[in-house]
Amino acid sequence: MKLGIGTGWIFVASCVLALSPIVGGSLLAQGRRGQRAPARPTPHFPDGRVNLGPPARETGMWFPIDARISVPDSGIGRGPGGAPNAPRYPNLKYSQVPFQPWARALFEYRLDNPFEPHTRCKPSFGPRELMTPYGVEFMDVPELKRMYLFDVGGPHTWRTIYMDGRPHPTRLSPSYYGHSIGHWEGETLVVDTVGFNETFWLDREGSPHTEQLHLIEKFTRTDMDTLKYEMTVDDPGAYTAPWTGGFYMQWTAGTELFEYICQENNRAPELMIGAEESVDRGSRIVP
């Protein structure tokens, strides 16, 4: 079969996506009889802080499980992922999310027309960043009082979380990653972020937001292999009230960040809109 550049990329990406549940799933941690070994306790640094990355002389990354922040009223939508007994977060149904009327209309349009910026190599923040099937990694740098979150997919970039107690700047130029400040509440890392632009989606379904978005994220490593992710959306421009969603992530030992080349001219139609049978491409506007 002859493959052009675009279709060849689609074939390779589809293979990677098909393999990612194996790489990021339980097979790497299974015992000889196919059952997952008991998880080790949550790792900590010598000063008592939770280690969200690999212990010393080990490697590993986090992969999403059932990565959705809201769920369909019926059916399974674009999920779920993970094993049947994987932990699930009790997310709101689509009809329960407090959308502004325009935001609900845009969300419903995106469900049928997923021209997603992330698949066109644009950065994504918050839950969408963590939903990449290629994994994410935390790097804690206490000397700088900063934490970095690296993601393999999309533009292969990172975001910075300031841990030195600074406030948000009074004036911010809207950006993909905004301005993040973090602190620990017991075993939970709490990240407060403002200053977003409007050019990314909050999730794969297409939840919209405006520049008024204030996002609170909580990361709790309940044991060596499990990370609970919760986020609260406070955006009066797109929603009538704050709302909360989340999902779980699974640790996969022995994996590391790898070179991921994202080329904007690769359209990957199968990854965005199935077989391209139901979307009008007559408009040049990407909603």
pLDDT (tens digit per residue) in 47-96: 999 999 999 999 999 999 999 999 999 987 776 677 778 899 999 999 99
pLDDT (tens digit per residue) in 117-157: 887 788 889 999 999 888 999 999 999 999 999 988 767 77
Contact 196, 175 (CB under 8 A): yes
Separation of alpha carbons 211 and 37, rounded Å: 44
Query: Where do runs of H (alpha helix) occur along the chain?
Result: 5-23, 101-112, 127-130, 269-273
In the three-class reduction of DSSP (H, G, I as helix; E, B as strand; rest coil), residue 89 is classed as coil
pLDDT (tens digit per residue) in 204-255: 999 999 999 999 999 999 999 999 999 999 999 999 999 999 999 999 999 9
114 Cβ contact partners less than 8 Å away, ≥ 6 residues apart:
204, 206, 272, 273
282 inside domain: no
Residue 47 region by backbone torsions, left for phi larger than 0, else alpha for psi between -120 and 50, else beta: alpha
Q: Exposed, middle or buried, 216 (CB in 10 Å: 0-12/13-18/19+)?
A: middle
152 inside domain: yes
279 inside domain: no
Tally of domains in the chain: 1
pLDDT (tens digit per residue) in 23-48: 444 433 443 345 667 899 999 999 99
Task: Give the residue from 49, 257, 42 showing the smallest Cα distance to 163.
Answer: 49
Which backbone phi and psi does 210 adopt, to 5 degrees? -125, 180
CB count in 10 Å sphere of residue 105: 12
Q: Would you list the DSSP string of 149-181?
A: EEESSTT--EEEEE-S-PPPPSS---BSS-EEE
The residues with which 44 forms a beta bridge, in sequence order, are 50
Separation of alpha carbons 150 and 132, rounded Å: 11
pLDDT (tens digit per residue) in 251-283: 999 999 887 777 655 555 555 544 445 555 455
280 inside domain: no
Q: Which residue has the tokens 């405006």?
A: 210
101 inside domain: yes
112 inside domain: yes
125 inside domain: yes
Over its C-alpha atoms, the chain yields an Rg (Å, rounded) of 19
278 inside domain: no
Where in the sequence is the domain holding 156, given as residue range(s)?
Answer: 5-273
